[in-house]
Chains A and B, each alone.
Chain A
Amino acid sequence: SQQGEEDPQALSIQEGENATMNCSYKTSINNLQWYRQNSGRGLVHLILIRSNEREKHSGRLRVTLDTSKKSSSLLITASRAADTASYFCATPTFGNEKLTFGTGTRLTIIP
C-alpha cells in the first residue's frame, strides 16, 4: 500500500519555470524524504526534512512540511532540462524500519 499520494501525477513546464509537487501521507512520521529517479534507474536522495522542521532548502530545492495537514511540497526553482525525472516522497513506517513511497510525480522540462 502507498503511504504517500503525490499530486500531480505528471507535470510539464518550460525550462526556467518553477515546479511544485505535493505529497500527502497518512500516519505520523519522524521525517519525510524526497527522491528523484531518472528513467529506469536508481533513486537519488534529494532532501530529508524532520517532523520538527517546517521548511528546508538545498540549492534550487525547497521543501515544506505541514504535519497538521500531513502534507509536504517540493519546489524546484529555475528548472533545467536535467530535472526531467520522477520525484517520490517517502516516509518511514513500521517502527521506522522501512520507507513507504508515494506514487510519484513525473516531471518533464521542455527546453
Chain B
Amino acid sequence: KAGVTQTPRYLIKTRGQQVTLSCSPISGHRSVSWYQQTPGQGLQFLFEYFSETQRNKGNFPGRFSGRQFSNSRSEMNVSTLELGDSALYLCASSTWTGGALDTQYFGPGTRLTVL
C-alpha cells in the first residue's frame, strides 16, 4: 500500500496570508490526524477526523481549521498567518482496534515558513 502523502512538502508564506495543506491517508484508513511540530513546543495535536467528522481538537486558535472528504483525504487551513505558525505540519492516518487509536502512520510533513 502507498503511504501517507502530504502536499506541498515546502511552503513559504508571508504574515497575514492563508495556507491550505493536503493529506492523503493510507487506503482504508478513515482516521486522519494533524500535528504541529516546533522546536519550542514539540509535537502538538491539532485535530482528528474520522469519516468526515472532527472528533477532537487541540488547543489551537480558530485560525487553524480542517476538513475531511468522503474519500478520507484531509486538508488543513491556517488563516492570517503569524510568524509563530512556522513549523513542520504532520498528518497521520490510522485505523481503530477495540475502541482505541491504533498505529498511526505519518506522512513526510509540510514545512511551512512564515516570513
Q: Which of A1-30 contact B (CB under 8 A)?
A: 2, 30
A42 lies within 8 A of B56 (CB): no
Alpha-carbon distance between A88 and B43 when the two chains are bound, in angstroms: 10
A77 within 8 A of B: no
Min Cβ gap B73→A in Å is 17
A43 contacts the other chain (CB 8 A): yes
A interface residues, how many (CB within 8 angstroms): 25
Structural contact, A33 and B42, CB atoms closer than 8 A: no
A-side interface mostly? strand
**Choice from A40, A99, A103 contacting B104 with Cβ under 8 Å:** A99
Q: Do residues A98 and B101 form an inter-chain contact, with CB atoms below 8 A?
A: yes
A69: chain B residues at CB < 8 Å are none
Verify if B58 is at the interface (C-beta below 8 Å from A).
Answer: yes
Q: Is B21 an interface residue (CB 8 A)?
A: no
B108 and A42 within 8 A (CB): yes
Binary A-proximity of B16-47 (CB < 8 A = 1, otherwise 0): 00000000000000000101000000110100
Knowing A97-B55, A98-B45, A98-B48 touch, does A92 contact B101 (C-beta < 8 A)? yes
Q: Is the CB of A41 within 8 A of B104?
A: no
Q: Write the chain B residue with the least CB distance to A95.
A: B56
B112–chain A nearest beta-carbon distance, Å: 13
Q: Given that A40-B88, A42-B108, A43-B106 are known contacts, is A96 also in contact with B45, CB under 8 Å in the complex? A: no
Closest 6 CB pairs of A and B: A101-B43, A43-B106, A30-B100, A96-B100, A42-B108, A97-B56
B: residues with CB less than 8 A from A are: 4, 33, 35, 42-43, 45, 48, 50, 55-56, 58, 88, 90, 92, 98-109, 111
8 contacts between A and B (CB under 8 A): A30-B98, A35-B106, A42-B109, A48-B102, A92-B100, A98-B56, A99-B33, A101-B43
Besides A96-B101, A101-B42, 6 other A-B contacts (C-beta < 8 A): A41-B108, A42-B106, A42-B108, A96-B99, A97-B48, A97-B55
Chain A residues with CB under 8 Å of chain B are 2, 30-31, 33, 35, 40-45, 48, 88, 90, 92, 94-101, 103-104
